């Protein structure tokens, strides 16, 4: 059996509204009962008093010693009874009245009395003379019958209206929940590769859900696109170094001279290094796109990550006799997940090392004010205007340049800039003569 929270929303709303309506009706019924009973009691008590007053006025000293019983003129007449007493002797009574007094003689006013196994509402009053008493009584059951008859006239229409009300409530809720059913149908029939957002022409209550789903679909589309792009990049770029490694391995196996074999094996190692570097860059791109889809946020020390990254690139600089320097404050906190500053610095410095000649200088600077800023400049040949325009395209490499690269480094830099709203300016270094890259963080 389903719990209340797991049951149909339409059933819960219908049941809740009917229960609330029923409770309100019951409360109104109880209030009506007490109010009607009070008003009816006062009205009938007034009738009793009026009847007793009429009988009291009609009594006088000419009392007949003969006992008199009033005739029954109406079928409801036995519900009301009267007695006339003179000198504690019953002189007259109605047909339904007992012989014993309804109430103690000499006690005037309204009272409730049991008489003849019946419950009476009694009004007693003295007559025109002190020894004459007029007593008028009415059965409580008669009063209750009048009360119930009045209440039934209100209860029966309410009970008859309840099924109609339930149907109307059910229909109104069913129609009101139609956008949710339509939304559920649209999502269930949606193709996994669909990118178009759901229509936001819905009611105000459903619109936040549709907007949240559209944001989710957008993130999923970005993640799926990143996975497709990663697969395409890997298939496109890894094919070349793997083919080159295979070819050089075949050359090494068929070489008869040691020098030829050594040259082929060196080429195999270079191909392995390139494949390793390419895989690392592809994984960096995949990580950036995954972080973008997940909306990851964090903080790091930019200077510490830069020092670590430059230490890793030191061997490459030594191998080419390049001068690698850092000018930065002791610490610089940034609003970026840990590791990404190292990725950014690593790709910029790696590009500078590859496209700069042996013995070149590469300077890395960090400025903390007025906004965090990273400056990487080298003494290499720089780039012309056409190459600068294409900088950042995937797998774009500068023509007529002997540097061994995949063209993904600048794609990673551009992706980081888009993700964290970084401003990237590339121009010629006035200090070193080569390329200068300035990365500026947004104001917090």
Residue scoring higher pLDDT (437 or 129): 437
For residue 285, give the H/E element and its range. helix 258-294
Both structure tokens of 331: 């610490």
More confident residue, 293 or 199: 199
The sign of the CA dihedral 118, 120, 125, 128 is negative
CATH of segment(s) 10-167: 3.30.450
Percent of the chain with pLDDT over 70: 74
Tens of pLDDT, residues 328-377:
999 898 888 777 788 888 888 888 888 888 889 999 999 988 889 999 99
- Average pLDDT (128-140) is 79
State how far the Cα of 47 lies from the Cα of 38, in Å rounded to an integer. 14
Q: Which two tokens stand for residue 338?
A: 């840990």
Distance CA 391, CA 308 (A): 26
CA atoms within 13 A on the CB side of 24: 8
* pLDDT for res 232: 66
CA angle 164, 168, 170 (to 5 degrees): 115
Residues pairing with 334 in the sheet: 300
Q: Can you tell me the mean pLDDT for 58-81? A: 53
CATH second-level architecture of 297-444?
Answer: 2-Layer Sandwich (3.30)
Residue 69 has pLDDT above 60, yes or no: no
Q: Find the range with the poorest average confidence among 189-193, 275-279, 292-296.
A: 292-296
| pLDDT for residue 124 is more than 60 | yes
For 80, phi and psi rounded to 5 degrees? -120, 135
pTM for the structure as a whole = 0.45
What is the C-alpha to C-alpha distance for residues 410 and 128, in angstroms, rounded to an integer?
Answer: 121
The per-residue pLDDT for range 21-31, each reduced to its tens digit, is 888 888 888 88
Give how far Cα 443 sits from Cα of 364, 381, 416, 421, 422, Å.
22, 33, 16, 10, 10
Asked if residue 122 has pLDDT above 90, the reply is: no
Confidence of residue 5 (pLDDT cuts 50, 70, 90): low
**Most confident region among 231-235, 256-260, 309-313, 371-375 by mean pLDDT:** 371-375
145-187 per-position pLDDT tens digit: 777 777 777 778 877 887 888 888 888 888 887 877 787 787 7
More confident residue, 397 or 150: 150
Residue 385 is predicted with a pLDDT of 63
For the chain, the average pLDDT equals 76
Residue 362 near residue 352 (C-beta atoms within 8 A): yes
* Contact between residue 406 and residue 278 where contact means Cβ atoms under 8 Å apart: yes
């Amino acid at each position: 059996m389903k719990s209340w929270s797991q049951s149909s929303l339409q059933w819960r709303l219908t049941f809740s509204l009917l229960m609330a309506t029923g409770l309100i009706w019951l409360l109104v019924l109880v209030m009506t009962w007490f109010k009607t009973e009070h008003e009816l009691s006062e009205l009938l008590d007034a009738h009793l008093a009026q009847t007793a007053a009429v009988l009291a006025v009609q009594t006088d000293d000419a009392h007949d010693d003969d006992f008199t019983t009033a005739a029954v003129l109406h079928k409801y007449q036995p519900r009301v009874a009267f007695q006339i007493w003179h000198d504690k002797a019953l002189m007259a009574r109605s047909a339904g009245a007992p012989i014993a007094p309804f109430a103690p003689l000499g006690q005037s006013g309204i009272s409730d009395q049991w008489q003849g196994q019946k419950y009476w509402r009694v009004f007693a009053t003295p007559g025109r003379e002190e020894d004459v008493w007029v007593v008028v009584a009415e059965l409580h059951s008669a009063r209750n019958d009048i009360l119930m008859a009045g209440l039934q006239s209100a209860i029966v229409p309410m009970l008859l209206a309840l099924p109609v009300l339930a149907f109307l409530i059910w229909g109104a809720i069913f129609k009101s929940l139609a956008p949710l059913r339509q939304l559920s149908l649209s999502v269930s029939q949606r193709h996994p590769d669909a990118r178009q957002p759901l229509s936001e022409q819905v009611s105000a209550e459903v619109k936040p859900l549709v907007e949240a789903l559209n944001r989710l679909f957008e993130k999923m589309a970005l993640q799926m696109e990143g996975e497709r792009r990663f697969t395409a990049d890997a298939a496109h770029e890894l094919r070349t170094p793997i083919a080159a490694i295979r070819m050089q391995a075949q050359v090494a196996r068929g070489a008869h001279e040691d020098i030829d074999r050594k040259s082929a094996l060196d080429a195999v190692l270079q191909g392995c290094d390139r494949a390793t570097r390419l895989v690392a860059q592809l994984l960096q791109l995949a990580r950036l796109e995954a972080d973008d889809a997940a909306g990851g946020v964090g903080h790091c020390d930019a200077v510490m990550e830069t020092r670590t990254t430059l230490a890793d690139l030191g061997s490459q600089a030594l191998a080419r006799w390049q001068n690698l320097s850092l000018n930065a404050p002791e610490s610089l906190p940034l609003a970026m997940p840990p590791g990404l500053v190292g990725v950014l610095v690593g790709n910029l410095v790696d590009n500078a090392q590859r496209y700069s000649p042996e013995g070149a200088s590469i300077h890395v600077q960090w400025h903390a004010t007025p906004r965090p800023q990273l400056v990487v400049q080298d003494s290499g040949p720089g780039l012309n205007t056409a190459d600068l325009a294409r900088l950042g395209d995937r797998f774009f490499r500068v023509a007529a340049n002997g540097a061994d690269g995949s063209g993904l480094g600048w794609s990673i830099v551009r992706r980081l800039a888009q993700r964290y709203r970084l401003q990237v300016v590339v121009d010629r270094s006035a200090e070193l003569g080569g390329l200068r890259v300035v990365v500026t963080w947004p104001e917090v």
